[in-house]
Structure 1
Amino acid sequence: MNIIEVVSQSQKQSFLDFARTLYKNDPNFACPLDGEINGIFDPKENSFFKHGEAICWVLTNEAGQVIGRIAAFINTHKAFSYDQPTGGCGFFECIEDKDAAFLLFDTAKDWLKERGMEAMDGPINFGENDNHWGLLVEGFMPQGFGMPYNKAYYKAFFESYGFKVFFEQYSYHLDRTKPFPERFWKIAEWIAKKPGFEFEHFKFSNSEKYIQDIIEVYNEAWKFHDNFTPIDIEDIRKMAREGKGIIEEEFIWFAYHEGKPIGFFVAMPDINQILIKMNGKLDFWNKLKFFYHLKRKTITRARITIMGVVPRYQRFGIESAIFWHMDKAIKAKKQYTEVELSWVGDFNPKMISIYESVGGVRMKKHHTYRCLFDPKAPFKRIPIIPLENRGSKAFKE
């Protein structure tokens, strides 16, 4: 077997193509767009290169055929905030061969050790953890956009190598053809109509205001949490620009108290329901196919990806009130029959309780693993978020 650093254009293509080959006959796999994956490893596209570095490899057999791939990266904003300096690995794919998998893990670990790391999280993203984060271990069905799908045998690879569960990630599903539980609905409606509180949805015509509101709530809600790092505002602006034509304005809601932003929810149409037909390519014909299915309202599921409420308002039921408004907006678009609430970590019991209170059913589980390079070092799982500091956000660490 031969490990090859991905440098040339042909090697980059091999890195991308291997996933297509591996999942060729799997009807649940929605191949991410090539441009999206390339952008993650492009310093001009990914702001994380301002405070980190990344590398990719492919693994070939004796015949020169690609049989695996992996990436490694260091986010210096977080790497040194743990007991052990910690990097990451991700975008792991491999045939069902333990020796091949271990060689890929060894390669990532050695690269990280050379740069002073003492631990490795995986599989994770070189970016925000709403996308490409965690290993699917339960719920092998079509995933929402950004949620990883993988081979079931990967779990044994990670755990036998020495990775341990750092935290679990749960995805809940809401059947929008069924009403919210009556008790929740009454409380949410009462809060939504309290004087001094206002709720409104995102509008592209005033996008900069809402982007600033997201940043303000995000920083206030999570500044007390372990390993907090501010969002890069340019990343939010980029998502807004690229999402135009796909984003439903009525699926992004904000809460205000006396004019001050205190909370937000972001739900996105699950474009995986279209991407699953495109095999990762966005050529001319696939662009036509994409917009054809968009117009045909092929997308029937939305995914709530991020939410936040500033701490002093977290006991007011603001989350419930936003759900109340968002539910009416989703019902008005009758093609949407399902909402995925993903992901929420096992370290955030408040959000788990909220998801279950609205009737969410746990459908999928991902693991974020950590491998300590010194097996004698004490292993600690991520701490539970203290009640008084909980940001009501689905996925952020």
Structure 2
Amino acid sequence: MKLTEVLSKNDERAFIKVHILINEKDPNWIRPLDKDVLSVFDPKQNKYLQGGEVVRWVLKDNNDRLIGRIAAFVNKRYKSKGDNFPVGGIGFFDCIDNQESANLLFDSAKVWLMQRGMQAMDGPINFGDRDKWWGLLTEGFHPPIYNMNFNPSYYQRLFEEYGFKNFYNQICWSLSVASDSHQLDPKFYESHKKFDGNPDFKAVYIKKDQLPKFAQDMSTAYNKAWVKHEGNKELSPQLALKLLNSMKPVLDEKLMWFVYHKNEPVVMWLNLPDINQIIKHLNGQFGVWAKIKFFLIKTFGKNSSFVGIVFGVVPEFQGSGLDYFMIVEAEKVIKSQTNYKKLELYWQGDFNPKMLNISKNLGGKKSRNLITYRYLFDRNKPFERHPILE
């Protein structure tokens, strides 16, 4: 076997091709856009490369056939709750069903990370935000949502036989849009009655021509719901507007909801269409013709799925049923004015029981499980799972 560091454009093409060769026979696989993968390794597009380090390798057999790939990275800002030692990352792992080949890839990443002072490696994770390329798929091998990892089932064995241990599970949930044959749980409608007609409360979906206003509301609701209680960084109105503008090409107003109490935002529920239903027709490309194709499918096609990205209730209204009120209001609009039939909630860590209970109470059914693994370089050090968030 021959391991080659990715240094040239040809190497990059080989890095992309490995993933295709491993997965192309699976009818549920959707090829990611090449540009989305390559942007992770582009300093002009990935802010985490400032002060961080990354390396990529491709693996070939003795007949010069591509059989594997992996990336390793040091991100000084990467830290899980409770960590008191430096942890590196691995990601974009692909490999044939051969433990020796997988071990060579893992060993190469381990040595590189140890040389940079790391004491453990987590993977497969992204060199960047956790909403992309995070975790190893172990349950729910149906078509992935946009920028979600997809892999053969045997990868779990390759990781665990090497010595990786489950650091935490990433659970995804699926909900059906209410219809004549399927209704929400009665508690939703009971909660809706409590607030319906009360002029102090209103549920509205956003308007594209009022994004600055909704960016301010997004900042307010997010910071009250998440920052003080979960240790997240504050979301400024300027960053919120930047995020909404970045979503604008695919944003569907009727999927982005707020509840106001006396004109103050107190509940936020933001969703996006699952654009992988379009991406699957583009064969990884996003040049001029692919963009035209994307636009035409988006405009004239029927997208039946959407993806939950943010859900939050400010502390004083948690447990009040106001979120159920909002969902019933949204259900009326989504059912009567759109083609959506299914909602998938993006992954939630099993270390966050409060969030998992919210999803269960919403009527969610587990749709996928991904695992973030950890490998301690000191094999005598006791392994600890991700601590539970209070």
Same fold (TM > 0.5): yes
CA distance 1:184–1:234, shift in 2 (3 Å) = same
Name the counterpart of 1:49: 49
The within-5 A match list for 1:106-255 is 106-176=107-177, 177=179, 178-191=182-195, 194-224=198-228, 228-229=232-233, 239-255=243-259
**Given the alignment, which residue of 351, 359, 380 partners 1:376?**
380
Query: Comparing 343-352 with 218-227, which one deviates more in the overlay?
Result: 218-227
User: How far 1:137 sits from its partner (Å)?
Assistant: 0.6
Asked if 2 retains the 8 angstrom alpha-carbon contact of 1:297 and 1:335, the reply is no
**C-alpha contact (below 8 Å) 1:305/1:343 kept by paired residues:** no
Q: How many angstroms apart in 1 are the aligned matches of 2:52 and 2:238?
A: 17
In 2: Cα distance, 1:89 partner to 1:310 partner: 36
Q: 2: CA distance between counterparts of 1:302 and 1:365?
A: 18
| 8 Å Cα contact 2:218-2:237 kept in structure 1 | no
**Counterpart for residue 363 of structure 1:** 367
Match in the other structure for 1:61: 61
Structure 2: how far apart are the matches of 1:179 and 1:76? 47
**Amino acid in the other structure paired with 2:69:** R
C-alpha change, 1:16 and 1:188, in structure 2 (3 Å) is farther
Q: Match of 2:77, SS?
A: helix
Alpha carbons 1:78, 1:227 under 8 Å: kept: no
> Which residue in 2 is equivalent to 1:311?
315
Aligned to 1:102: 103
Q: Whole-Å Cα distance in 2 between the matches of residues 166 and 231 of structure 1?
A: 28
Runs of 4+ in 1 over 6 A off after TM superposition: 232-235
Q: Which residue of 2 aligns with 1:322?
A: 326
* Counterpart position of 1:390: none
Which of the numbers 267, 278, 286 marks the counterpart of 1:282?
286
Measured after TM superposition, the shift of residue 251 of structure 1 is 0.9
Matched residues in 2 for 1:76 and 1:99: separation? 31
| Cα distance between partner residues in 1 of 2:51 and 2:226 | 20
Task: Tell me the alpha carbon deviations over residues 52-106 of structure 1, each in whole angstroms, 9 at most, x when there is no partner.
Answer: 3332221122233221111122332233861321121111111111111111112
Instruction: For residue 131 of structure 1, report the CA deviation from its aligned partner.
Output: 1.8
* 1:385, distance to aligned residue in structure 2 (A): 2.2
| 2:72 is the counterpart of 1:72 | yes
Give the Cα separation in 2 of the matches to 1:224 and 1:93: 39
8 Å CA contact retained: 1:124, 1:132: yes
Do the aligned partners of residues 114 and 317 (structure 1) sit closer, same or farther apart at CA in structure 2, a change above 3 Å counting?
farther
Shift in alpha-carbon separation, 1:374–1:32, aligned structure 2, 3 A: same
Tell me the number of residue pairs that the alignment of Structure 1 and Structure 2 aligns: 386
1:230 positional shift: 5.0
Task: Quote the offset at 1:35 in angstroms.
Answer: 1.0
Q: Percent identical across equivalent pairs?
A: 38
How far residue 248 of structure 1 moved from its aligned partner, in angstroms, is 0.3
Report the alpha carbon displacement of residue 328 of structure 1 after superposing the two structures with TM: 2.5
The amino acid across from 1:12 in the alignment is: E
Contact 1:122 1:134 in 2 (8 A): yes
Name structure 2 gaps, 5 residues minimum: none
Alignment-derived partner of residue 392 in structure 1: none
* TM-score w.r.t. length of structure 1: 0.88
- Report the Cα offset of residue 325 of structure 1: 3.1
Task: Provide the C-alpha distance between the structure 2 equivalents of 1:93 and 1:288, rounded to a whole number of angstroms.
Answer: 31
Amino acid at match of 1:139: G
- d(CA) in 2 for partners of 1:20, 1:191: 51
Q: Cα distance, 1:40 vs. partner?
A: 1.5
Change (3 A) 1:316 1:383: farther
Residue identity opposite 2:71 in structure 1: A
Sort the Cα spacing of 1:236 and 1:134 in 2 relative to 1 into closer, same or farther, 3 A: farther
Structure with larger Rg: 2
User: 1:243-285 CA deviation, whole Å, 9 max, x = no partner?
Assistant: 3232101211223334443332221111111212222112333
- The residue number in structure 2 matching 1:391 is none
Q: Which amino acid in structure 2 is aligned with residue 127 of structure 1?
A: G
In the superposition, relative to structure 1, how do residues 208 and 10 fare at CA in structure 2: closer, same or farther (>3 Å)? farther
Q: Which moved more, 1:57-66 or 1:116-125?
A: 57-66
For residue 184 of structure 1, report the CA deviation from its aligned partner.
2.2
In structure 1, what is the equivalent of residue 25 of structure 2?
25
| Displacement after TM superposition at 1:333 (Å) | 3.4
Residue pair 1:273, 1:298 contacting (<8 A) in 2 also: no
